[in-house]
Chain A
Amino acid sequence: MESQVSIPIPQGEKIAAEAMIDSGAHHMKKRILLVDNHPVVLKFMTNLLEKEGHAVRTAGDGVSALDILKTYLPDVIFIDLIMPYISGDKLCRIIRRMPELKDVYLVILSAIAAEEKVDFAKIGADACIAKGPFDKMAKHVLFALSQSNQRLRDSLSREILGSEDICPRQITKELLTSKRHFEAILGNMSEGILELTHNQRIVYANPTAFLIIGIPEESLLGSNFMELFSGKYRKRIRDMMDARGQLPDDISKSAPVRLNGKEISLNFLPVQDEAHEATIVIMNDVTEQKRMQAQLQEAQKMEAIGTLAGGIAHDFNNILMGIQGNASLMLLDVDLTHPYYERLHTIEELVQSGSQLTRQILGYAREGKYEIRVMNLNQIVQETSETFGRAKKDITIQRKLAQDLFAIEGDRGQIQQVLLSLFVNAWQAMGEGGELFIETMNTNQEKMKDKVYKPKRGDYVLLTITDTGVGMDKKTLDRIFDPFFSTREMGRGTGLGLASVYGIIKGHGGYIDADSREGAGTTFTIYIPASKKQVIAKKPLSAQVMTGTETVLLVDDENMIINVGKDILKTLGYRVLIARGGKEAIEIYRANRDKIDIVILDMIMPEMGGAETFDALKAINPEIRVLLSSGYSMNSQAEEILQRGCNGFIQKPFTLNQLATKIREVLTGD
């Protein structure tokens, strides 16, 4: 029951200091704040200090103390060590960090000091008084006050005076140890933990909570939890608090609140003991999780649009095929002078435009490549850019094409479409005319390290297309590959151009990115995997329609295709057998296998599809010749059928001439 005071006193001056207590050397009135949770201590201290002529205010806990300190700047603060809500050591640290209170004289007043050596300097206190009988305490309190003038802070002994008489008590040590143990656990949690009083004042925050909220401890502790959030979230948070942990965790996760630029999920746990009602708040930063979720949703949406678009394009191609076929057949019967000749030609041209559009949709839907050939990109770039240059004379085209460029594997039509889309894009960006730089070169995966995507190993062909146009802002740049995004006014563009460019390049196993600055032009960078195969010179499409007399089995579930196909084939000189499905095709083939020279097989049919039909036909006759036809573009399914020995693929809608050439290729094995 001893009371000790510990004040930094120069060595050897202890006795002199003792003498000072009664010397009345400190008559300056002081403003004092007392923080202690025991009314008896507060009452005694108030009486003592007021008798000495000081101004005294009291607080029963740390939160009230912080409230008082908003408007009252004391010269000296006495702080009890163990208090509810905010402990004395924490309060000291907080006060020390408040700029307007950095010079306040802090005195720790605690029974703990008698039981364990308190490292009061470390928590920012200037002196430490061990609680004891009031007569002894009074002396030490007054002595501490006398010292507060001098603020002897540095290089002085900070021993608790008389501490040699004290026998540390195990119990209090344990109390402190278990507290530190929990602090260590809370300090290492990935969740932010807050403790709130019944009126939502924050009295505890773990380090993660400070990070999430972004407010330093001294300002956060004692502040109102609700005030952290903008007005629109407060009602919801209040509702969640009222629910008191009854809401399942995922409700809070699916509808997080915004705080400090982050998406935060909140959980509230009521904690109640005799003395007070508190709430523990568990905060989780779900920003990244939300972002990933949004990204996944976006990807799923794109995929759904792709599937839908692909399906529509397929049906559309079948219809176009019917129109195309009928027009082709009618054209065979009319000569140049016929009044309908021009109109029929227009129909054919319109079908071509329509098919160009479905090609774009399918390109976006990434339905694979139509017809893969090994080719030299330079040749297509040269041809396409020359054609484009002739049409747009206000644009100067500069080409720098690598001589030894690697071959690539791809669909010529699609690559042309990519180039044209990008050229048109550049032309639109250069309203006043300008320059278009096209460059090709060999590269490899190692040289693509700084890209956001992770390229597969191997060699690539690099194509860059740079214009000197108006450029784009970041917002536009981020969206240019989105389907149906267009900067042109409604109705002027489909918004599919760059989206299908993206789809096509992806379909070729390649990568594309765009770089642009407003007013400084745009560069598109395209990487396409290099092929080790040799470029085969393309055979020119014969001007002469290639006819034949063989027997063709035409398999398709669409009447429209059957009708027009039959007529085209007959016109070309072939004998025609018809099957409206896979099973019928197999029956007919089995009965007529010696007569039938070639099967034209639709890929997508109800019940028995093209793939299954093909396998059955192949089982009947391994030497069978089959030309696969589809309103879908060449996708992985078609590719598999080709790998199993199918002889060719033709994309609907096809012209009479294209079909004629294709049949001859398959029949002659060319």
Chain B
Amino acid sequence: MDVEALAENLGLEKHEYMKLLSLFLETASSDMSKLQSAIEEKDAQKAAVAAHSIKGAAGNLRLIKIHENAKEIEEDAREKCLEASAVQELKENLELLAESIQTQFGSA
């Protein structure tokens, strides 16, 4: 992931963008656990709200894949036919992001 290019695209300094990304990961992980428990409780509304939150912030930060994953989950949840694979994909993409931030911080 080219953080510098993304930051530039958003008109932000790299360190600013990094801060926003880690804040995003924090909230996204709490949203993810809400999403997981919503799926266990079969609460579609709650699942949609959690996905909506991830979707919005991902969009703000131009995290296109995560944005698309979250959007798909939100729409599926509204239609009450959530695919486990979509949630898994979102989870993986969030993990990827976390990893690359780790390396960025390490390199910075």
Contacts and interface: CB of A to CB of B under 8 A. Distances in A.
B57 interface: yes
Interface in B26-62: 26-27, 34, 37-38, 46, 48, 53, 56-57, 59-62
Given A111-B59, A133-B59, A273-B46, A39 B53 contact: no
A586 interface: no
Given A43-B20, A273-B46, A38 B11 contact: no
B75 interface: yes
Contact of A131 (B34, B48, B59): B59
A137 B38 CA distance: 31
Contacts of B59: 1, 111, 131-133
Given A38-B56, A40-B61, A47 B16 contact: yes
Contacts of B38: 274
Contacts of A111: 56, 59
Nearest to B76: A171
B67 A40 contact: no
Contact of B24 (A40, A47, A131, A138): A40
A16 B69 CA distance: 38
Given A171-B78, A274-B34, A40 B57 contact: yes
A171 B47 CA distance: 13
B88 to A, nearest CB: 21
Contacts of B57: 38, 40-41
A133 B10 contact: yes
Contacts of A47: 16
A134 B61 contact: yes
Given A133-B10, A174-B78, A274 B61 contact: no
B9 interface: yes
B67 A1 contact: yes
Contact of B27 (A39, A175, A275): A39
Given A133-B10, A174-B78, A43 B53 contact: no
Contacts of B11: 134-135, 138
B12 interface: yes
A135 B10 contact: yes
B27 A171 contact: no
Contacts of B62: 1, 133-135
B73 to A, nearest CB: 11
A39 B26 contact: yes
Contacts of A484: none
Interface in A27-52: 38-41, 43-44, 47
A134 B12 contact: yes
Interface string A620-636: 00000000000000000
Contacts of A38: 27, 53, 56-57
B28 to A, nearest CB: 9
Nearest to A2: B59
A40 B23 contact: yes
A43 B60 contact: no
Contacts of B56: 38, 41, 111, 131
B19 A43 contact: yes
B60 A40 contact: yes
Contacts of A175: 48, 78
Q: In this complex, which of A38, A134, A138, A175 has the most chain B Cβ atoms within 10 angstroms of its Cβ?
A: A134
A289 B51 CA distance: 48
B75 to A, nearest CB: 6
A41 B37 CA distance: 25
A373 B12 CA distance: 107
B76 to A, nearest CB: 10
A273 B26 CA distance: 20
Contact of A135 (B9, B34, B67): B9
Nearest to B67: A1
Contacts of A43: 19-20, 23
A333 to B, nearest CB: 103
B78 to A, nearest CB: 5
Interface string A131-147: 11111011000000000
Nearest to A1: B59
A609 B69 CA distance: 93
A39 B75 CA distance: 23
Contacts of B48: 171, 175
Interface in A133-177: 133-135, 137-138, 171, 174-175
B42 to A, nearest CB: 14
A422 B6 CA distance: 99
B26 to A, nearest CB: 7
Contacts of A132: 59-60
9 contacts: A1-B64, A41-B60, A47-B16, A133-B61, A134-B10, A134-B11, A135-B62, A138-B11, A274-B37
Given A40-B57, A43-B20, A134-B12, 9 more contacts: A1-B64, A40-B60, A41-B57, A43-B23, A111-B56, A171-B75, A174-B78, A175-B48, A175-B78
Interface of B: 9-12, 16, 19-20, 23-24, 26-27, 34, 37-38, 46, 48, 53, 56-57, 59-62, 64, 67, 74-75, 78
Interface of A: 1, 38-41, 43-44, 47, 111, 131-135, 137-138, 171, 174-175, 273-275
Enumerate the 5 nearest inter-chain pairs by beta-carbon distance, A residue then B residue, closest first: A40-B57, A135-B11, A135-B10, A171-B78, A134-B10
